[in-house]
Amino acid sequence: MPAVTYSHSPSGRYGGGRIAHMVNLVHADDRYFAVLDNNYIGSNQIEWMTPEEFRRSWTGLGGGWAVILLAAPPPPSPTGAN
């Protein structure tokens, strides 16, 4: 899952202002992109946008980063033992 730069929220978060932030890009296809923001966590907080809206937010700071971790994530927190 790529982590990408994020310069503004198409849905009006952060007061609609410009920000310098990175978010998780959880979905991307020809019609929709979706980001998960650590300041708006939860499965119902996914922000959907068009590819063009994403491109504007991604590169709105003059360029964009996309960081992909090739290593496996750490193990999940232990729950429900036995």
Partner 1 sequence: MYALLFPLLFGQCGPGGCAIPPGWPQWQPLVIDRTDRQPAVFDVEVVPQDGQVWFDSHAVRLLGGKGRVQTPPLEPGRRYRYRVTARWSDVERAWNLSFSPGPIPIPVVLRRDEPAPSTSGSNATPSGSSGPGTAPASKPEGQLPVVEQDGVQNFGIDRSGLNSTAERITLDGRQITRAEAAQILQAGSLADDSGKLRLTVIGTESDRRRVLDDLKGPLADIADQCLVQDYSPDHWAVAKVGFYTAGKPTIYIQAPDGKVLHRQDDYADGASGLRQAFEHVRRPDPNYRPERDRDLRGPADGLLSRLLDMLARPFRVIFSWLLTAGVIFLVIVLIMKGWLFFLFYLLVSLVPGPPPQAKTAGTNQRQPAQHRRARPSTAGARAKR
List of residues contacting partner 1 (CB under 8 A): 2-3, 5, 7, 14-15, 17-22, 38-39, 58-59, 61-72, 74-82
Nearest CA to 11 out of 67, 40, 30, 66 is that of 40
Q: Shortest distance, CB of residue 76 to partner 1, whole angstroms?
A: 3
Q: Shortest distance, CB of residue 36 to partner 1, whole angstroms?
A: 12
In the bound state with partner 1, the residue whose beta carbon lies nearer, of 39 and 50, is 39
Name, in order, each residue with C-beta under 8 angstroms of 5's C-beta and a sequence gap of 6 or more.
20, 21, 22, 58, 59, 61, 63, 64, 65, 66
